[in-house]
A = this chain, B = another copy of it.
Amino acid sequence: MLSKGRLEAFSDGVMAIAITLLVLELSPPEHGNGVSLASALWHQWPSYVAYVVSFLQIGVIWLNHHRMFAPVRAVDGTLLLLNLVLLMWVALIPFPTAVVADNLRAGGSDASTAMALYGAVILLTAITFVALYGWITHDERIAGTLPSRRALRVARLRFSVGLAAYALAFLLSWVSAPLALGLHAAMALYYAFDQATIQTESVTSVEAG
């Protein structure tokens, strides 16, 4: 019933809105009593880091979502539900982002709690993503052509490494909250450049073909 095109358009819409709502976490700082705006703005630095990291995370999820849906030729119910759950996590990301922004400077257990919440939401997003990939590639009725056994093995390896890194970031929250945020930043950057490389390769191969 529901076509792949409509599902992608709705998913794109939700991801575009979630990525743009991230800015609402940033608000003009209240200041006064001899505190300058400049120092009040500097004081908010965790907000800026959190904004950039979450922007990249959602941007990368969007890019990956497209690549994952490229071979899909029919949308069944499980795909629909898994995609809805994925969107539920993605649309939630502005919330842990704001919690991190508010609590990172506090340090101690509150900073760890904030980062653990952030890490948990990202980890759940990643798990849902892998489940969706698993469903899409398990059956030729969904994906027109299944990836080769070798491509599947490579994908599984990559996903396992990714999930392990997100789990590590989650655990790191209790060791050092800034370190955990740094790992998230590093992974978002890694995936962004990774996606860019894949895209460039595909352009080059079209060119060569």
Contacts and interface: CB of A to CB of B under 8 A. Distances in A.
A84 interface: yes
A28 interface: yes
A160 interface: no
Count this chain's copies in the assembly.
Answer: 4
A123 to B, nearest CB: 16
Interface in A19-55: 19-24, 26-28, 31, 36-38, 41, 51-52, 55
Given A9-B12, A77-B199, A110-B36, A28 B206 contact: no
> Interface residues of A: mostly helix, strand, loop or mixed?
helix
B22 A91 contact: yes
Interface residues of A, number: 75
Interface of A: 1-2, 6, 9-10, 12-24, 26-28, 31, 36-38, 41, 51-52, 55-56, 59, 62-63, 66-67, 70, 74-78, 80-81, 84, 87-88, 91-92, 94-95, 98-99, 101-103, 106, 109-110, 113-114, 117, 141, 192-193, 195-200, 202-204, 206-207
